[in-house]
Structure formats: structure tokens, C-alpha cells
Amino acid sequence: MSAHAPETPPWCVYILRCRDGSLYTGITNDLDKRLGEHREGRGSRFVRSRLPFTLAWSEPAASRSDALRREASIKKMDRAGKLHLISG
């Protein structure tokens, strides 16, 4: 019998649409937990001051590095680019 390392949870990149229409981009390896933290005001300061929010978009990433790279590329987009991305 061989020992198996615990499976690493998948990473994802997500965009929230806040109460004021602003968009917040982040990464996590547990989306449900992270959304709960945001809802409880324990997530980012940006979202905390703009509650409530809706999850507008998410995309899986193979690793934390991939998620960070994708997050950085999204943050470089202008608002129109982000809206196009979340519209599907």
C-alpha cells in the first residue's frame, strides 16, 4: 500500500460585483469559504466597504501560480474588458 499526499484543492480566480457596481478580482483555493469571509466582512477591505456583492465570474486554475498570473492579467484590464469577460 502506498501513501498518498492529500489532494490539493483547486485554485480559482473570481470576480465579485459589489453594491456600488465596482468589480473586485481575487484568488482562492476554497471559493465557498472565501465568499463567506467576504460576506462576514472578514475578506478584503475593498469588499467590506461595498457589501453586499454577487459572484459575477470564476475560473479554475491548475495552481496558485497560474491563479496569480491570471488575476494579474485581469487586474490590468480596463472595466470594459472585465465586463466583457464576465458576460461570457
What are the tens digits of pLDDT across the range 14-27? 999 999 999 999 99
> Which of 61, 64, 57, 43 lies closest to 88 in space, CA to CA?
57
Residues 32-66: tens digit of each pLDDT:
999 999 999 999 999 999 999 999 999 999 999 99
Q: What domain range includes position 81?
A: 11-86
pLDDT at 11: 97
Question: Are the C-beta atoms of 26 and 13 separated by less than 8 Å?
Answer: yes
Does a structural domain hold residue 2? no
Return d(Cα 30, Cα 13) in angstroms, integer.
10
Instruction: Specify the number of domains making up the chain.
Output: 1
- pLDDT band, residue 88 (cuts 50/70/90): confident
Does a structural domain hold residue 3? no
Terminal CA-to-CA distance of the chain, rounded, Å?
A: 45
Which residues lie below 8 Å from residue 80, measured CB to CB, with a gap of 6+?
A: none
3-state secondary structure 62-73: CCHHHHHHHHHH
- Residue 41: give its domain's CATH number: 3.40.1440.10
Percent of the chain residues topping a pLDDT of 90: 88
